[in-house]
Structure 1
Amino acid sequence: MGTQEQINFLKTIYPFDQLSKIEMLEFSENLDILYFKKNEIIQEEGKEPSNLYLIIKGIVQEKNSEEVLSIYSENEFFDPISLIENFCKHTFITAQETICYALPRDIFLKILHGNQKLERYFFQSISEKLNNNTLHEKNKELANMMVAKVKDAKVHAAVIVPFNTSIYEAAKTIKEKRVPTLLLKDEKNEIHIVTDSDFREKVILNRMSFDDSVGKISSSGLVFVDENDFLFNAQLIMSKHGLKRLVVKNYKEEIVGIIDQISLSSFFATHTFSVSNEIDKAQSLEELKDTSKAFLKIIKSLYAKGVKITFIAKLVNQLNRKLIDKIFEILAPKELIGNSSLIVMGSEGRAEQVLKTDQDNALIIADDCTLQDDEIHKFATKFTETLVEFGFPRCEGNIMLSNPYWCRRFSDFKELIYSWIMGKTGDDFMNLAIFYDAICASGNRQLLIELKQYLFKLGSNSQSFYMNFAKVITSFDVPLGFFDGFVFNSEDKKHKNEIDIKRGGIFILVQSIRTLSLENKLFRTNTIKRIKELNKLNVIDDEFAKELEEAFNFLTSIKLKSNLEKLESGKEVNNYINPEDLNTMEKDLLKDSFKIVNKLKKKLEYHYKLSYV
């Protein structure tokens, strides 16, 4: 096998794909191909190791006596730690005929210590590996930003009026159409432009008559750009000509809009701030709908730039809450304003929902609110229907305002919480878990705070309550086998060879941390913030807290990546991922994350004695 073939092989294996050209050449030139029979020992416990092995074909088991600790297969390698320590802690033996590349220890160590990225990788803890997982994959996503089209950014509507329209009528049109510019067409069918700043700087300062032709303050010599042109090219054109805006045409040479510098800056900065401002300024549901369409673009942009999932979720959650608050303000009867608390629950309440999932919301109404129940129900139904129109699907469990169970007076909610704590059914604990994650999205926050204080008081003296609350995690298995292989649900033909990353990882972690937080009476709802608080209380030690944070971030990030890819290809967004769609590094980190989740699960099982519940 020639050197180029060996280099191509190395480029498929992280972190060796990070080597420089010189390092890659030296690495490949020193590789030997070795063949091993089934059940042949490659590296023996207690001996000094001689090579780094990269598997071309076959399976190798890592054993401690007779216990199999790990399994390595095609495009994986072993055992760098043995080479670094010059001591083999375990035995590596083939499970079937195996072909490997072998790199001498001295060459590996030379390249390792000469490459900071490589050295940093092999001396990291699991949590550090998870934290530093990223940029070689993120760079691929970032490349997508460079091929964004003009039509992908915010293009203002093109409003064209006659050249001789009066200044007054033109200004009135700008206000009514809510656009920053007007296009003017003269008798020769030539196009001119006038902006809102022209009215300030030319009309007012020159004391022009409002009856004058708006054409007098317009500019000509417009520069056009095709809507399918690259966005960065539009930016170059603006810079070249010293312009603040371009007129956008489609393939038929028809004018379809105007793109300005603000739109460009907003796109490349994810325009979170401008979207937030647009929500504040919106005066109708229609205006809000247009603004909410930008959320997915923000998510894709932030993810492509390598922004951590926690920050993406936080930003999107803030925008969602602001959007929901605005919808509530527009629709709610005045008697509810200040006399109720609109709460969002579940992943939205924990600020962990990125892509829109089903609704989980409720309304706590002050006991002294004068609005009649039938009017409340009428509003609640309208609110739920409006959220559906905005892309928030109905909750399959009917946890929505339109369900009277989740829309009730303060004192009725207290009775409901009491029944949940005293109850023993799965629904009781599920409802309690959902409610504990609630945050106030609009209205009187104090109503929710008092109900949570009541919840803490009722559950404080009942250890059996926390045991039962935690028990649900025993119904879910981490999809990692005894030999570190992924475990699939053979009965689910629809998702064959796929893993439910929520059931097998995220839910177990979230519910475990939620239970510990409830027992310690934490008001925090976000899982990462709960982990930090539990760490401060010494419920979780420093290293484990760090591991949990990074495992949670990786699991939610890999889920988001999978769902963004599904959206691009028109597939259903769900919680399933196929490990074969992951690169070697991601598979490794997924296994590490599942190990951390399993460790947490065992901690909960011991802490709450779940085997006795």
Structure 2
Amino acid sequence: MSEDFNFASPPFDQLRPREREQLRDALSVGYYTVDEVLLEAGAPVPCLFVLMKGVIEERGEDGKLFAQYGAEDLFDVRGLFSGSSKHRYQAVEESIVYELPAAVFHQLCTDNPQFARFFRADLASKRQLERRDGQNLAEFILTRIAPEHLLPAIEVGPTLPLGDAARLQLSRGADALLVREDGALGIVTRTDLMTAHFRDGFSEAQPIGPLAHRPLSHVELGDFLFDAMILMTRQRIERVAVCEEGRVVGLLHLTQVLSLFSTHSHVLALRIARAESEAELRAAAETLHTLIATLAGNGIRLRFIMQLVSALNEQLLERLFELQVPPVLRGRCCLLVMGSEGRAEQLLKTDQDNALILDDGLPVEQGLLLMQRFSAALLEFGYPPCPGGVMASRPEWCKPLSEWQRELRELPLQGRPEQLMRLSILADAWPVAGNRRLFDSLRECLYELAGDSSRWMSDLALPALQFDTPLTFLGQLKTQDAQLDVKRGGIFPIVHGARVLAVREGLEERGTLGRLVALKALGVLDDSLVDNLAEAFELFLQLRLRQQLDGQRDGREQGLDVSRLSRHERDLLRFGLHTVKKFKQSLTRQFHLETR
């Protein structure tokens, strides 16, 4: 059967006659029944598999589907280069595969650079991560906080004298102490002790209790190092406590995290924080795109990128607010972001989506003037105006708190379409600057609407069914000129459906993935449906981002060129859209939309 091998298919068309003979002589044929395993995770990869017939699935240890292979697809190239298979490969149909021994494969790669280049490029496309500063980025992202990463956690009482605290730090090689007072822990760093003594004149005999910073930020032992870096970036701190079963077991310092990660995201955060002019801030904003491209190009999982970019975006907006709004007015208003930015899901720059809550005593005209300057600056930073006018520079999105609350309280009685639209937008609101207590008051009013089963809730859910799922009658991808609108057909139904269910249940979760997890915990959605929705959501965003980075680099570009996807990516896309279809059916039942 090896005589039937297709040498016209890339990359085998790059082989010279002698190399083709070498391949043909070494080739064997494998037959696999349904559910038979070809490769186990962690096992050595004995050969390059070339699928002739059937379907093979690639799944992680947690059962997550990474790829589905059909006729003429190749695997496990990554494992051939790394030495072992990262995932499990299993037949889901009766399958026939060509098997090229690993030794022969590597010899062909050595002898034929063109042949080898194809596979190494394929590795990059499958998120094979390049090494930087001797540290593999994939290893960093998947590295969990372990005891060897930690500095000692030394707990003391609030009455410990400052001089004794400094000597204790020196003797134990620590740069911070934990101070417990009234059952709560705070932290006092070496810098705090120096500042108190040399700048503020504290004597060595004075207690350190008043110097402690609270609340103590913490992560759990076993959490991802990346999560710790996001927390440090968001809170602009250099240490976090690490807990295990409610007990602090050590401290994690920024230097240890940065020694394992080199995208310089924290350096970018410092550039934003230290910007003294709009020009400096704009220069820092321009590097965000490079950071996103670097992380995405190195295969970093999208949910991690979104968290990091969200933290940096919020700091950028807050710093611009501080540069433009006089200190006397900052406590009398609160800047909100909405849409993908409010959900912490924005990647590339999209439309401005923001609003301003004013203290009831602050004139609206004054707030509008401030926000018009703010919007103009964002435009210079590369954020275009919102086509729908959802911007704090417009009167309908710049109002006193009492006006916002009045509008929400009228909703159950009136339920007008424009009210529903604004409620949908406000459900994603998040404060980034100013007096956040104003937002807390608005959010309390929003939660008062939770659990209302009146008709307006069904009206609010209806837009999730507005756009057809781009699948044919036979369940294949439905495209127009090879284009598929993945935002309308895939992303929006998941985002809006999760948002409406979150409003109904009174959930505080900010993003789509967090809302899905919370809905799963409440039993509102089936476990398997939630898991598949989360994977589909991330897949849609990832495919869209990759094409945006390769093309116009415009966050507003919605189309997906299906012709540029590999076969297994098309299969995953189809599977994801079928999941969206099931989700829409669930929404139809829950909100009684069968006749709408």
Instruction: Judge conservation of contact 2:127–2:299 (CA < 8 Å) in 1.
Output: no
1:511 maps to amino acid: H
Alpha-carbon distance in 2 for matches of 1:328, 1:408: 17
- C-alpha contact (below 8 Å) 1:341/1:365 kept by paired residues: yes
1:533 maps to which of 503, 506, 518:
518
Shift of 1:457: 1.3
Partner of residue 495, structure 2 = 510
> What is the aligned partner in structure 1 of residue 123 from structure 2?
136
Residues 1:476 and 1:423: Cα distance change in structure 2 (over 3 Å): farther
Q: Name the aligned partner's letter for residue 482 of structure 1.
A: F
> Which moved further from structure 2: 523-532 or 444-453?
444-453
Q: In the alignment, does 2:348 pair up with 1:350?
A: no
Residue 377 (structure 2) pairs with residue 397 (structure 1) = no
**Aligned equivalents of 1:439, 1:543: Cα separation in 2:** 29
| Pairs within 5 Å for 1:208-227 | none
| SS of aligned partner of 2:448 | helix
The separation in 2 between residues aligned to 1:426 and 1:471, in whole angstroms, is 11
**Alignment partner, residue 317 of structure 2:** 324
Instruction: Give the secondary structure class of the aligned counterpart of 1:367.
Output: coil
CA displacement 1:63-89 (0-9 Å, x = unmatched): xxxxxxxxxxxx9842559xxxxxxxx
Residue of 580, 590, 593 corresponding to 1:597: 580
Asked if structure 2 preserves the Cα contact closer than 8 Å seen for 1:358 and 1:393, the reply is yes
Given residue 306 of structure 1, which amino acid in structure 2 is its aligned partner?
G
Separation of aligned partners in 2, 1:483 and 1:143: 40
Q: Does the residue aligned with 1:399 lie in a helix, a strand or coil?
A: coil
- Secondary structure at the aligned position of 2:552 is classed as helix
1:458 aligns with 2:449: yes
Cross-structure match for 1:30: 29
Q: 1:468 to 1:318 in 2, by over 3 A?
A: same
> Quick check: 1:122 aligned with 2:90?
yes
Partner of 1:560: 545
1:461 deviates by 3.1
Aligned residue identity for 1:333 = P
- Equivalent position of 2:147 in the other structure: none
How far apart, CA to CA, are the structure 1 residues paired with 2:411 and 2:523?
29
Secondary structure in 1 aligned to 2:328?
A: coil
CA drift of 1:144 comes to 12
2:270 to 268, 273, 277: 277
Residue matched to 2:589: 606
How many residues are matched? 408
Question: Following superposition of structure 1 onto structure 2, how do residues 57-96 of structure 1 map, counting pairs within 5 Å?
Answer: 77-79=53-55
Report if aligned partners of 2:332, 2:434 keep a CA contact under 8 Å in 1.
Answer: yes
Which position in structure 1 is the counterpart of 2:358? 365
Cα 1:267–1:330, aligned 2, differ >3 Å: closer, same or farther? Answer: farther
**What corresponds to 2:378 in structure 1?**
387
Over 3 Å counting, the alpha-carbon distance change for 1:600 and 1:389 in structure 2 is same
Name the amino acid aligned to 1:30: V
Q: In structure 2, the residue corresponding to 1:577 is in which secondary structure?
A: strand
Task: Quote the Cα distance in structure 2 between the aligned partners of 1:592 and 1:5.
Answer: 30
Consecutive unaligned residues of structure 1, counting only runs of 5 or more, are 13-20, 33-47, 53-74, 82-99, 103-110, 125-133, 147-261, 490-495
Shift of 1:123: 7.0
Deviations 1:241-289 (A, max 9, x none): xxxxxxxxxxxxxxxxxxxxx9xx9998221110000111111111101
Letter in 1 for 2:493: I
Q: Which range moved further: 479-488 or 574-583?
A: 479-488
SS in 1 for 2:334: strand
Unmatched segments (≥5 aa) in structure 2: 13-19, 38-50, 58-70, 74-78, 93-120, 134-254
- Report Cα offsets for 1:324-352 as digits up to 9, x if no partner: 00010111133321121100001000011
Contact 1:342 1:363 in 2 (8 A): yes
How far apart, CA to CA, are the structure 2 residues paired with 1:26 and 1:543?
Answer: 46
The residue that corresponds to 1:308 in the other structure is: 301
Partners of 2:323 and 2:401 in 1: CA distance: 23
Q: Which amino acid aligns with 1:450?
A: S
Question: Pairwise mapping of residues 8-19 of structure 1 onto structure 2 (< 5 A)?
Answer: 9=9
Change (3 A) 1:351 1:434: same
Partners of 1:551 and 1:593 within 8 A in 2: yes
Q: CA deviation at 1:121?
A: 3.2
Q: Quick one: distance in 2 between partners of 1:135 and 1:10?
A: 12
- TM normalised by structure 1 equals 0.59
Q: Could you tell me how far apart the structure 1 residues matched to 2:391 and 2:72 are?
A: 58
Alignment CA distance shift 1:303-1:525 (3 Å) = same
Distance 1:444 1:426 in 2: 30
Partner Cα separation in structure 1 for residue 85 and residue 24 of structure 2: 17
Distance (Å, rounded) in 1 between the aligned partners of 2:366 and 2:577: 49
Change over 3 Å in CA distance of 1:284–1:602 after alignment to 2: same
User: Aligned-pair distance for 1:486?
Assistant: 1.4
Which segment drifts farther, 404-413 or 429-438?
429-438
The one of 550, 559, 579 equivalent to 2:535 is 550
* Distance (whole Å) between structure 1 residues aligned to residue 456 and residue 579 of structure 2: 26
C-alpha distance in 2 between matches for 1:364 and 1:141? 46
Alignment of 1:39-438 (within 5 A): 77-79=53-55, 117=85, 120-122=88-90, 136-138=123-125, 269-369=262-362, 372-438=363-429
Pick from 531, 540, 559 the counterpart of residue 576 of structure 1: 559
CA deviations 1:334-391 (Å, max 9, x no partner) are 332112110000100001110000000000011134xx33322211111111111111
Matched residue SS, 1:363: strand
Percentage of identical aligned residues: 29
Contact 1:341/1:443, CA 8 A, preserved across alignment? yes
Shift of 1:488: 2.8
1:301 CA displacement: 0.6
TM-score normalized by structure 2?
A: 0.61
Q: State the distance in 2 between where 1:24 and 1:418 align.
A: 73
If you compute each CA radius of gyration, which structure gives the higher value, 1 or 2?
A: 1
Cα separation, partners in 2 of 1:145 and 1:458, compared to 1, 3 Å: same
Q: CA deviation at 1:480?
A: 1.1
Q: 1:443 aligns with which of 412, 434, 443?
A: 434
Inter-CA distance 303–405: structure 2 relative to 1 (3 Å threshold): same
CA distance in 1, matches of 2:131, 2:486: 26
Tell me how far 1:525 sits from its aligned partner.
Answer: 1.7
Aligned-pair RMSD on alpha carbons?
4.1
After TM superposition, give the deviation of residue 2 of structure 1 in Å. Answer: 7.0
Distance 2:556 2:3 in 1: 42
Please tell me whether the aligned partners of residues 364 and 409 of structure 1 are also in contact (alpha carbons under 8 angstroms).
yes
The 8 Å contact of residues 2 and 27 in structure 2, kept in 1 or not, is answered as: no
Evaluate the alpha carbon distance shift between residue 335 and residue 462 of structure 1 in structure 2; reply closer, same or farther with a 3 A threshold: farther
SS of match in other structure, 2:542: helix
Q: Secondary structure at the match of 1:511?
A: helix
1:466-505 equivalent positions in 2, closer than 5 A: 466-489=457-480, 496-505=481-490
Q: State whether residues 127 and 298 of structure 2, in contact with CA within 8 Å, keep that contact through their aligned partners in structure 1.
A: no
Q: How far is 1:447 from its partner? A: 1.6
Secondary structure at 1:385 match in 2: helix
Q: Tell me the secondary structure at the aligned position of residue 121 of structure 1.
A: strand
Partner of 2:111: none
Once residues 521 and 346 of structure 1 are traced to their aligned partners in structure 2, the CA distance between those partners, rounded to angstroms, is 18
Name the CA shift for 1:117/1:361 in 2 (closer, same or farther; >3 Å). Answer: same
Please give the per-residue CA displacement for 1:522-576, whole angstroms capped at 9, x wherever unaligned. Answer: 11120011111111212123322221111111111111111111136xx895010
Equivalent position SS for 1:509:
helix
Q: Residue 290 and residue 498 in structure 1: after superposition, are their counterparts in 2 closer, same or farther (change >3 A)?
A: same
Letter in 1 for 2:526: D
